[in-house]
Chains A and B, each alone.
Chain A
Amino acid sequence: MSTVRRLCAPDPCELVALLALPPTAPSLPVTRLVAVLGARLASASRTSPTRLDAFVAEFGAARFTTAFRWSARGARRPLGTGALRRLVAGTSRDLLGAAHEEVDDLCDRAQRGLARRGALGTWLAAAPAEARALCAIEAASWAWGLCHLLDLDANADRVAVGVPDAWFDVPGARTTLHGRRDATGTTAASGLLRLRDGAPGARALDGLLVDGLAAGIAGGTPTVPARVVGAWPDAGVALVVELDATAVRHAARLVVACAAVPGAGPGRRTEAVLAA
């Protein structure tokens, strides 16, 4: 395993520096990595499309036993990310207002028929006003947590928030990799940050590695991030893992191992992935 650090009550300056620092080792050849990964996953030949992510790596494929349904808790990350995007763009003055606007916007799109069945907007549009208000304050609380963690007011030019997740369809295999990212450095190949609930579990590092791998191979000009920072604000703990060659190889092996487990499909947990 590559370098791993554990930070207690991490200082925003320290976290921002970790996100902004370039990698300590030269970047990995992503093209070859993708080819090898594709070949391995294709050989696992699945009959249904498979979505792999940090949660599958940490908890296994069969963690969710009940059908997914949206809730304020589940909606706070997508809504909070949207609210942060509005705040950074300057279209909203405060996070609570931005979260309310995000909710209203999603409802509006759903009412105009622009949201699919089961989407967050469709659920919000059908939900009572109280449920929508609860979603807004939960999303704002989540986003405020991220802002405080990174002291966004002081570091707005060094970190990017409201960034989209990384999605990568592995060529030749019916597999999609999903990597979540809640903040990134603004320079190329900088670090990425994941905001998590609770306290880090026994396999928390595996999840961070999969998020890092997905971010590395997705996008137009794929570059593996220098490091992944996992922040657990509930516990006041952050884990930092450097994405060197050893770590990336380990992440790729994890993904292949997850794909080999029966039941690692999208099925019931497709939307849960978005919510986490």
Chain B
Amino acid sequence: MTPTTLAPSDDLVVALRGRASLRPSVDRGLAGGLRAWLDDGVFELVGVPSAGSIRVATRDVVGAVHAGSTEAMLRGALVAQLLCLHVAGCTPVDPFGAAAVALAASGRDDDLADLLAGLDAEDRARLAAEVAAHASILFDRLPAVPPRWSPRVGVRHQVPIAGGGVVLRGQIDLTLGEPGGSTACVCLLDVTTSALGARHEDGLTYLALLATLRCGEPPLRVAALSTADGSALVRDVDAAMLAEAVEGVLRAVGTMVTR
């Protein structure tokens, strides 16, 4: 499936949810086959790894060298908090102040919250200006999400495969739609503060795989939204895409083992 790149003027939520009548039926046999493929692939690469010995994160699959600078991590964490607030129906007037309060109250990323509190005035002002710019794009591109779409924020995945020897980890910023129906309707949205590139597409396929293994059914679509320039990438999830993700995971495991 060719990815659809959306222009900033296109409606992201409409592209993500699509028309209900055109949604494919759910293939519930796919998850088991993908899991077996991963188990076999890991066995061929490393035999039987001890429990939790290999931890694969999104950045391992997309080939990112490191987690990013401290500033980028802080900016990402603050924008993630703004997404939560926006979905909760609270669109703040002072995005930086609101995001800082939310980060401190979140109970996650305490290290980043401490780092933020320790910034000097100049760094803080620069970060506030950046966050305000990202917030403006986020609120503009992502309209209010109705509660009937069951929005879930910051859903973490920690899927054990190969008898728990390998743990696949990832986090989906926003999940919409209820699983369990006869047609696929779950949509995943990854919000990034950097400009979209090939690694984001790889990241989306990995997140689709995680969601499939976790729930037992593939999501309908995955999307990435860049709050740097408002561009978005939407992909339909199909068997080919998930197969691509399995190969990506096995490549990452192979790299980690030979390192």
Give residues in A with beta carbon < 8 Å to B.
Answer: 8-12, 71-74, 94-97, 100, 127-131, 133-138, 140-141, 144-145, 147-148, 151, 197-199, 202, 232-237
Please, which residues of chain A bring their CB within 8 A of the CB of B154? 138, 141
Most buried by A among B35, B51, B84, B213: B84
How long is the Cα–Cα vector from A233 to B152 in the complex, in angstroms? 13
Q: Cβ of B216 and Cβ of A235 under 8 Å apart? A: no
Do B106 and A134 have beta carbons less than 8 Å apart? yes
B199 is an interface residue with CB less than 8 A from chain A: no
Output the least CB separation between B161 and chain A (Å): 10
Q: Establish whether residues B105 and A127, one from each chain, have CB atoms under 8 Å apart when the complex forms.
A: yes
Count of residues in B whose CB is under 8 Å from the partner chain: 43
Contact B216 A11 (CB under 8 A): yes
Query: What residues of chain A lie closer than 8 Å to B151, measured between beta carbons?
Result: 96, 137, 140-141
CA distance A199 to B215 in the complex (A): 14
Contacts of A197 in B (CB 8 A): 156
Contact between chains at A133 and B89 (CB < 8 Å): yes
For residue A207, give the distance in angstroms from its CB to the closest CB of chain B. 17
Complex Cα gap A197–B155 (Å) = 11
In the complex, B101 has a CB within 8 A of chain A: yes
| A141 & B215 in contact (Cβ 8 Å cutoff) | no
Contacts of A199 in B (CB 8 A): 158-160, 164, 167
Q: What 1/0 flags go to B139-183 for Cβ under 8 Å of A?
A: 000000001101111111111100010010000000000111000
Contact with A along B195-233 (1 / 0, CB 8 A): 000000000000000000111100000000000000000
What's the Cα separation between A200 and B157 when bound, in Å? 13
A contacts with B: majority SS: helix
Q: Is the CB of B152 within 8 A of A144?
A: yes
Is B250 interfacial (CB-CB < 8 Å)? Answer: no
Known interface pairs A73-B108, A96-B147, A236-B159. Does A12 touch B214 (Cβ–Cβ under 8 Å)? no
B6-28 at interface with A (beta carbon < 8 Å): none
Query: CB-nearest residue of chain A relative to B154?
Result: A141
Contact B213 A9 (CB under 8 A): yes
What is the chain B residue whose CB lies nearest that of A66?
B110
Contact residue among B89, B98, B215 (Cβ-Cβ distance under 8 Å from A96): B89
Report whether A237 and B160 are in contact in the complex, using a CB–CB cutoff of 8 Å. Answer: yes
CB-defined contacts of B179 to chain A, threshold 8 Å: 148
Return chain B residues, CB-CB under 8 Å to A96: 88-89, 147, 151
CA A234 to CA B35, docked complex, whole Å: 16
Is B3 an interface residue, CB under 8 A from the partner? no
Within 8 A of A (CB), among B179-195: 179-180
Q: In the complex, what distance in Å separates the CA atom of A234 from the CA atom of B178?
A: 16
Contacts of A71 in B (CB 8 A): 105-108
Residues of A within 8 A of B102 (CB): 72, 130-131, 133-134
| Other-chain contact of A134, B51, B105, B156 (Cβ < 8 Å) | B105
Q: List 30 A-B contacts (CB under 8 A).
A: A8-B35, A9-B31, A9-B215, A9-B216, A11-B216, A71-B108, A73-B106, A96-B89, A96-B147, A100-B88, A100-B89, A128-B101, A130-B98, A130-B99, A131-B102, A133-B85, A137-B84, A137-B87, A137-B151, A138-B84, A140-B147, A144-B150, A145-B155, A148-B150, A151-B180, A198-B156, A234-B156, A235-B157, A235-B160, A236-B215
B92 contacts the other chain (CB 8 A): yes
Quick one: which of B90, B107, B148, B155 contacts A133, CB cutoff 8 A?
Answer: B90
Q: Are A130 and B101 in contact (CB under 8 A)?
A: yes
Docked pose: A139 CA to B99 CA in angstroms: 18
Contacts of B58 in A (CB 8 A): none
CA distance in complex: A199, B89 (Å): 31
* B153 interface neighbour in A95, A141, A235, Cβ under 8 Å: A141
